[in-house]
Structure formats: C-alpha cells, structure tokens
Amino acid sequence: MKRSMYILMNFCLLIINGQLQRSGNPTTCWASGAVFSLIMIGLTAYQVKRVSKIHETKREHGYKYHVKDMEFKTSADIIKLAILCMIAAILCGCTGIAGGMVLGPLFLTYNMVPKVMSGTNQYITMIAALAVTFQLIALGELHFGYAIVFGVTTVLAAMTGIKAINIYTAKSGKQSIILILLAICLIAALLMLPLKFLM
C-alpha cells in the first residue's frame, strides 16, 4: 500500500509539473521546475536512506546474499545507481526510446539476473507509459480507439513473448536469449533514428 501511494504521489507531482511547464509563463516554468527538482532530490534521499536501512537490517540478521544479488554496501552505491538512472531517463526523453533499452545493460553491469532485469525494465516502462497516458488524458489528446487496439495488441504480444522465453529457458537452461533479444532491440532502435531522419 505504501509503495502504491508513493508511486501515485510521484504521478501527481509529474502531472502537476507538466501542466505548470505548459503555462507559457517563464517565471512559473522556472519556479515549478526548481520546486519539482528539490522534491525529487528529497524523495531520492529518502529512498537512499530506506534502502540503506534495509541492507543494514539484512546484514544484522546474517542474510546470505546470492551471487547475483544487487548488494549496496554504501549509500554512495545507491546514489550512483540513482544518478545513472537519471542520465538514462534524460537520454530516453531526448531520443524517445524506451527506458529499458538503456537501463537493461546498466542493470546487467550490476550482475542482475537477466530475467530479473527484464521484469524490472517492464515495471519501469509501465510506470513511464502510465505517466504519459495520464498526461495525454488530462490534455484531452488521447485517442481511446487507438489506445484500446494498441493496448490489447501489446498485452497479447507481451504474454506470447514471455511464455515463449519461459519455455525456451526451461528447456535449455540458458537465459542468454534475453540478452540477444535486448541487443537486437538496441541495434534496431539505433538504426531507426537515422532512418527516420532520412525518411
């Protein structure tokens, strides 16, 4: 429940800031941007303390970390990941590609299990997609007919893909297929940018 309320609060802050940024008043834009940035820094600091406390509790109780567990030994490790995610978010916002494309390789450098990395990326993508959808609804620019068609198609495609990968990994015991597919998507996204410009 706490996590849901936290995510909802972030959505509300994002939508409010987006509306204020569209006001056209330079003073309002700068002020709302500054306030939004300070709130996000505060929330990040809160999360850093929260995660640090969780890891301290684990260590106190003798938690046995798995080889592929993401262990944050210091607050600096958490802040580093947060900054890298922020840079990834800026890059994704500038290029229009999905966050998972950038964050996938980043999470793999932290020895995250490919299946866990894939699930984490899907969760992040869901949050970003919902934020954009709510903004479009608030602006009255969402075409619900297209949204339903693409939504149903996406759900069916995702379910099919997840089922196929689960069957493959269960039979072969290899999770490398996830990395191969991620690499293909990254290369395709990289090629699409110049092709879109030329077309």
What is the residue type of 171? K
pTM above 0.85, yes or no: no
* Among the listed residues 68, 73, 55, 10, the one whose alpha carbon sits nearest the alpha carbon of residue 36: 10
pLDDT at 35 over 80: yes
Q: In the numeric block, which tokens belong to residue 85?
A: 């995610």
Between 35 and 97, the higher pLDDT residue: 35
pLDDT mean over 93-113: 70
Domain boundaries, the chain: 1-61, 65-199
Q: Which residues contact 124 (CB under 8 A, 6 or more apart)?
A: 99, 100, 103
Q: What is the pLDDT of residues 134-164, one digit of tens each?
A: 778 877 888 888 888 988 998 898 888 878 8
HSE on the CB side for 128, CA within 13 Å?
16
